[in-house]
Amino acid sequence: MAPALLESSMARDFAWIRPEPHGIHIAPADIWIDPSRPVPRALVTHGHADHARGGHGETIATPETLAIMELRYQTREGARPAQYGETIRLSGGVDATFIPAGHVLGSAQILLEHAGERVVVTGDFKRQPDPTCTPFVTTPCDIFVTEATFGLPVFRHPPIFTELTRLIDRLHADSDRCVLVGAYALGKAQRVIAELRQIGHHDPIYIHGAMERMCRLYENFGIDLGELRLVSDSEKDAMRGAVVICPPSALNDRWSRRLPDPVTAMASGWMQVRQRARQRNVELPLVISDHADWDELTATIEQVDPQESWITHGREEALLRWHQLHQRRARALALVGYEDEDD
């Protein structure tokens, strides 16, 4: 193969990789990335349900992501693990390499190479440090397929330390209550717990039953979460002055009535906007996100320096405008089915 010759003799049209409404399709290998409906062959970037659906014939993903999918869908059929940095030869002359994305445990960007052309699909990613997953690795490419969940310049996620300090302060100020933190059950919850341990909070943390198995899975992959107790096994009075973590959907649910007068908190990038916090009835908004904020998105694109960016989902209009202002090429893909309301 002679990339230089190819580049000079034919237009680079990247016809081998196409965004379709239900995912990104790689024609020579007939394989899909994060398809939103069952397909014969899929590459999956990470375990969040909107990216990792069940029912595919063959699924190639990191061992962590496959374990998460097995937990969700109770089957390992067709699972084919790919380690970070490992290149997998697909049919039709397409190579796929899994690269850390720093989003949640096992999350990967997927580098696709075909006929000398390089495309990186990030899935979701962030650049802030996270003790529960391998940090993002910048990978040069021709086309950079990025998310834009927080693709507006108002989104600047503060360091997680300042947000957790506010949580601990509130815990001390209202010591006969508990602080109930709504956090996405995969990734956010474990990160909040692990970060609380890092800043020296070693009291038992109480969790909603729906999070138990995912926390155990993290522990099995070597992430230390300290002492966790189930809310359902605990007395109300034992939880006074404690941190309780539940999925966002349980925050205003009848479930929370068993807690001692909870201060409602939520860990999400959306908490940056006051009215979003109000819409969720949140008293203590914690701006903690597993997605890149505006500065991370734009800095990453500058570092990767692709010929063109493809924007999969989120606030694509503003990120498109940024590309225009910086004389960079970009297009929005309008993929369906990626949801981001709870992050």
The answer to whether 327 contacts another protein (rule: CB under 8 A) is no
d(CA 172, CA 170): 5
**Which region among 95-103, 116-124, 241-249, 273-281 touches another protein (by CB under 8 A)?**
273-281
Minimum distance between the CB of residue 164 and another protein, rounded to whole angstroms?
17
Stretch touching another protein by CB under 8 A, among 112-120, 135-143, 296-304, 320-328: 320-328
Kindly tell me which residue out of 110, 214, 282, 304 binds another protein, with binding defined by CB under 8 A. Answer: 282
The interface with another protein within residues 104-163 (CB under 8 A) comprises 152-154, 156
Distance CA 63, CA 40 (A): 19
C-alpha 169/C-alpha 160 separation (Å) is 14
* Residue of 9, 74, 275, 327 that binds another protein (CB under 8 A): 275
Regarding 302 and contact with another protein (CB under 8 A), the answer is no
CB atoms near residue 331 (< 10 Å): 14
Sites for another protein among residues 156-195 (CB under 8 A):
156
Residues in a beta bridge with 42: 32, 59
Q: CA torsion angle for 32, 322, 137, 212 (degrees, to 10)?
A: -70
272 binds another protein (CB under 8 A): yes
Q: Is 322 in the site for another protein (CB under 8 A)?
A: yes
33, 147 contact by CB (below 8 A): no
Q: Is 277 in the site for another protein (CB under 8 A)?
A: yes
Segment lying near another protein (by CB under 8 A), choices 84-92, 251-259, 272-280, 332-340? 272-280
The residue (of 24 and 318) whose beta carbon lies closer to another protein is 318
Size of residue set near another protein by CB under 8 A: 23
Q: Which range binds another protein by CB under 8 A, 212-220, 226-234, 268-276, 296-304?
A: 268-276
Q: Which one of 37, 76, 278, 329 is in contact with another protein (CB under 8 A)?
A: 278
**CB contact burial 144-166 (16+ within 10 A = b; e otherwise):** bbbbbbbbbbebebeebeebbeb
Strand ranges (DSSP E) for the chain? 17-20, 23-26, 31-33, 41-43, 58-61, 79-81, 87-90, 94-100, 108-114, 117-121, 143-148, 179-182, 205-207, 228-230, 243-246, 263-267, 284-286, 308-314, 329-332
Q: How far apart are CA 56 and CA 37, in angstroms?
A: 8
Nearest to 167 by CA among 241, 275, 277: 241
What single letter denotes the amino acid at residue 209? G
Q: Which is nearer to another protein, 8 or 275 (CB)?
A: 275
Contact status: 273 vs another protein (CB under 8 A):
yes
Residue 17 or 148 with smaller CB distance to another protein: 148
Contact between 283 and another protein per CB under 8 A: yes
Write out the residues near another protein by the rule CB under 8 A: 152-154, 156, 272-279, 281-285, 315, 317-318, 321-322, 325
